[in-house]
């Protein structure tokens, strides 16, 4: 083979860049949450968990049947 290099740069899907950006953003959010969790005392942490559960239940009551099934499937796969 004459050429061992590709004459043009490989095409990259814009979706890959978008997914990487979203992943990076989620990593930053998760890191912030992790740091905040360490700063909280047990009472605040329990209160935050309780608030999160309340919000999850409220969101579930607003979901369609298909969304609920998808959510349950996602939970099972974790």
**pLDDT digit string, tens, across residues 20-60:** 888 888 888 888 887 777 777 778 888 888 888 888 887 77
Is residue 37 within 8 Å of 45, Cβ to Cβ? yes
> Is 7 within a domain?
no
Please report whether residue 8 resides in a domain.
Answer: no
How many domains, the chain? 1
Q: Could you identify the residue written with the tokens 């974790």? A: 78
| Domain extent for 57 | 14-77
Q: Residue range 10-27: average pLDDT?
A: 76
The pLDDT, as a whole number, for residue 7 is 59
Rounded to two decimals, what is the model's pTM?
0.34
Enter the tokens of residue 71.
């959510």
Residue 72's pLDDT is: 81
Place of tokens 């050429």: 3
| pLDDT value, residue 57 | 82
């Amino acid at each position: 083979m004459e050429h061992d290099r590709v004459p043009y740069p490989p095409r990259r899907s814009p979706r890959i860049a978008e997914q990487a950006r979203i992943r990076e953003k989620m990593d930053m959010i998760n890191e912030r949450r992790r740091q905040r969790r360490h700063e909280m005392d047990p009472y605040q942490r329990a209160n935050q968990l309780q608030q999160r559960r309340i919000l999850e239940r409220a969101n579930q009551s607003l979901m369609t049947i298909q969304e609920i099934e998808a959510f349950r499937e996602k939970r099972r796969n974790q």
